[in-house]
């Protein structure tokens, strides 16, 4: 079977070589792939939830491990930094450096209370998406990373990223989310911070 992916607006397309990394060769549609990835993500979240309180999400090894746990049952390249440039993200040569700077900044913001919990979380989420270190799954991974980061700052706040809907399909909420991320790309963080605040529960 040939995998036919109809990606929503703003999604990162996969190259034919990257599609070969799909472990389940029977998958033929985006909806089947979403279902399989959804099951893997639940498994990954269960693993993450069982980490000890001392678990540090702001390390190079951890970010790769989390991505692998979220997508490793579906894709061979899960947890491995991408090897091709995309329509979004830094050059492959800058991924490690930019990610290290991002994690160091996030640690500084948290330890020195540079921003309130939700703004720090929004800024980390944006930077992770902007770097786009993996072949695919960056948005979902970055939201889960942001959740884990927020839990260390204020465990009483939860974010409903889907706002009762979904971010995997084209809709008004996804459009607002993509628009806010693109504004942050231009150093205007207000729309993204406002969106994250509206998702806090």
Q: Tell me: the pLDDT tens digits for 54-94?
A: 999 999 999 999 999 999 999 999 999 999 999 899 999 99
Provide the number of structural domains found in the chain: 1
Please measure the distance between the N-terminal and C-terminal CA atoms of the chain and give it in whole angstroms.
42
Q: Which residues is 134 bridged to in the sheet? A: 81
Confidence bin at 171 (pLDDT 50/70/90): confident
Residue 24 lies in a domain: yes
Give the residue numbers spanning the domain of 39: 16-199
Residue 182 lies in a domain: yes
Name residues whose C-beta falls within 8 Å of residue 87's C-beta, 6 or more positions apart in sequence: 12, 13
Residue 11 lies in a domain: no
Instruction: Give the separation between CA 53 and CA 89, rounded to whole angstroms.
Output: 31
Residue 8 lies in a domain: no
| CATH code of the domain in which 60 resides | 1.10.3290.10
Instruction: Please state whether the predicted TM-score (pTM) of the whole model is above 0.75.
Output: yes
Residue 5 lies in a domain: no
């Amino acid at each position: 079977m040939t995998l036919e992916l109809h990606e929503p607006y703003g999604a990162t397309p996969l190259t034919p070589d990257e599609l070969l990394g799909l472990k389940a060769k029977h998958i033929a549609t985006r909806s089947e792939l979403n279902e399989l990835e959804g099951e893997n993500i639940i498994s990954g979240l269960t693993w993450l939830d069982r980490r000890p309180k001392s678990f540090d999400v702001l390390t190079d090894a951890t970010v790769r491990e989390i991505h692998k746990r979220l997508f490793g049952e579906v894709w061979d390249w899960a947890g491995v930094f991408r090897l091709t440039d995309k329509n979004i993200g830094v050059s492959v040569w800058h991924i490690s450096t930019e990610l290290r700077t991002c994690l160091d900044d996030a640690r500084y913001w948290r330890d020195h209370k540079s921003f309130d919990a939700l703004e720090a979380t929004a800024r980390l989420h944006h930077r992770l998406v902007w770097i786009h270190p993996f072949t695919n799954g960056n948005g979902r991974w970055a939201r889960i990373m942001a959740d884990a980061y927020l839990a260390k700052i204020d465990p009483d706040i939860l974010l409903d990223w889907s706002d009762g809907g979904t971010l995997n399909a084209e809709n008004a909420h996804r459009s607002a989310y993509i628009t806010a991320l693109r504004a942050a790309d231009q150093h205007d963080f207000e729309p993204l911070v406002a969106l994250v605040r509206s998702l806090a529960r």
